[in-house]
Structure 1
Amino acid sequence: MKIKWFGQSCFIITSESGIKVLTDPYKKMLGYELPEMEADIVSTSHNHKDHNNINVVKNSFIHINEPGDFSEHGIEIKGIQTFHDKTSGSKRGQNTVYNFNIDDINICHCGDLGHVLDANQIEEIGNVHILLLPIGGLATINAFDAVQVMKQLNPTIVIPMHYRTKALGIAGYIFSKVDKFISASGLKAKEYGELELSKANIKDYSGMVVLKYD
């Protein structure tokens, strides 16, 4: 499979058979610009404009935007209800964490998770090979809470998202840089433009992977 990051919480995950999963597409904002996309499945973790711009996809697709169990294009998807804040959603509402089984690899996309997980949520999410984890703070968990969530789910690979990059310009100062999470985690980060792996070689990439924003 291939995993490419487009900034914020937006990724394209392409299976070995060519099925494309797009997560949390955004409207042009904060310095990021998303090109027109093609995707077979689009997931949105919550209904905020930097996560729900499904109109960027120009072909027909399946839209997953709620908790539950789904099976589409040979991909098993589980949505788990969480919250966008530490007060059970009273400030920013609900958030859905998705676990995708693609090519026998479980990829957990946390959306704008705003809190550490409870025991029931950890059990519902289940086994995680690749964790796509917000780490920038303010609208999501910060670097230190992110480390705790990483330890709760114990993935083979963690990929940080939703943090300050150069593309964000001045607006990016509301978020922390990825360096803060790297330091707090104690892991050595490897950087790629795009991650390409399989079940056979996933352990070769174990630890933290930082994907570049083009």
Structure 2
Amino acid sequence: MKRRQLLGYAGAGLVTTLVTSLGSDLQVNAQSGGSLSIQWLGHTSFLFTGGGVKILTNPFRTIGCTAGYRAPKVAADLVLISSQLLDEGAVEDLAGNPKLIYEPGAYEFNGIKFQGIAINHDRKGGKQFGINTAWLWKQGGVSILHLGGAAAPISIEQKILMGRPDVALVPVGGGPKAYNPQEAKQAIQTLNPKIIIPTHYRTQAADTANCDISPLDDFLTVMNGMTVRRSTSDTLTVSSGKLPDNGAIQVLSYKY
């Protein structure tokens, strides 16, 4: 697939930068070996640290379902966003000067290859909220699939691109913009990931009057029988050599 343009962030606007090998002077073997740290920053925002690279996903504005979270103003080398909606594409106040990618396509950054896969952000063929970009990459020897705000079933073509990820971040809280628990279960059965990290569900951060997604327990009830691991931390360290074969749900804690 033709490599798309990689977008850099500057001030309050987005500037387009054509690259042939972005960060080539700082090449690191980020795809293989070592381990990966995954920190939950609330909603669908995570910080992935491994192979000498920090990758931030889906920074949000603190309103509605994310009202009680802290804005994810953390330093990162690269930011991946799934859409330009405020709950996963608020890039106005990013720390530092990270590179930004927000369109489907094939990219490379510091030795890591990224695949942005288009999937509808609603159940109306994308007519309501447009296209969501699911991100697939390998970092620290661990393959990661972040589904963002996917709301449509995974097609055969998308499944071929996604493969079987080591870690899949799956929205589970429903509403008009993402999978509800049953839809999330279907996606998980299609992908068969080794670790499932649920995202996009109601927590105590929600502004009750302006949040239309369901709590995590609704999803866990649907997934009855699957191993569930609950962490007291917001951070998980994953090693490629220590992944469960049969799949497990990993629940991270948010430090309010």
Q: TM-score, normalised by structure 1?
A: 0.93
1:47 maps to: 84
For residue 75 of structure 1, the aligned residue among 103, 109, 112 is 112
CA distance in 2 between partners of 1:120 and 1:14 (Å): 29
Q: Within the alignment, does 1:188 sit opposite 2:222 as a pair?
A: no
SS in structure 2 of the partner of residue 175 of structure 1:
coil
- The match for 1:147 is 185
Q: Percent identity?
A: 30
Residue of structure 2 equivalent to 1:101: 138
User: What is the distance in 2 between the residues matched to 1:155 and 1:200?
Assistant: 15
What letter corresponds to residue 38 of structure 2 in structure 1? I
| SS of aligned partner of 1:36 | coil
| Residue from 74, 78, 88 that aligns with 2:125 | 88
Instruction: Measure how far apart 1:170 and its partner are.
Output: 1.3
Q: Secondary structure at the match of 1:147?
A: helix
**Post-superposition offset of 1:10:** 0.4
Q: Which residue of 2 aligns with 1:121?
A: 158
1:76-129 Cα shifts (integer Å, max 9, x gaps):
210111110122101111111110111221110011101111111111222311
Counterpart of 2:49? 14
Q: CA deviation at 1:54?
A: 2.0
CA contact (8 A) 1:21 1:39 kept: yes
Q: How far apart are the structure 1 equivalents of 2:245 and 2:97?
A: 35
**Offset from partner CA, 1:18-44 (integer Å, 9 cap, x none):** 311100001121322214211011001
| Aligned-partner Cα distance in 2 for 1:113–1:178 | 17
Distance 1:98 1:189 in 2: 24
The aligned runs of 1:146-185 (5 Å cut-off) are: 146-171=184-209, 174-185=212-223
Which residues of structure 1 form unaligned runs of 5+?
A: none
- Given that 1:164 and 1:172 are in contact with CA atoms closer than 8 Å, whether structure 2 keeps it comes out as no
Q: Distance between the aligned counterparts of 1:137 and 1:201, measured in 2?
A: 31
User: What is the total number of aligned residue pairs between the two structures?
Assistant: 213
| Runs of 4+ off more than 3 Å | none
Q: CA deviation at 1:173?
A: 5.2
- The question of whether the paired residues in 2 share the 8 Å contact of 1:76 and 1:102 is answered with no
Instruction: Compare 30-39 and 142-151 and name the one that shifted more.
Output: 30-39
Higher helix share: 1
State the match for 2:57 in structure 1: 23
Counterparts of 2:139 and 2:96 in 1: how far apart (Å)?
21
**How much is the aligned-residue C-alpha RMSD, in angstroms?**
1.7
CA contact (8 A) 1:110 1:133 kept: yes
Distance 1:171 1:133 in 2: 24
Q: Distance in 1 between matches of 2:215 and 2:60?
A: 20
Farther off after superposition, 92-101 or 30-39: 30-39
Aligned-residue offset at 1:70: 1.1
Work out whether residues 5 and 11 of structure 1, in 8 Å CA contact, stay in contact via their aligned partners in 2: yes
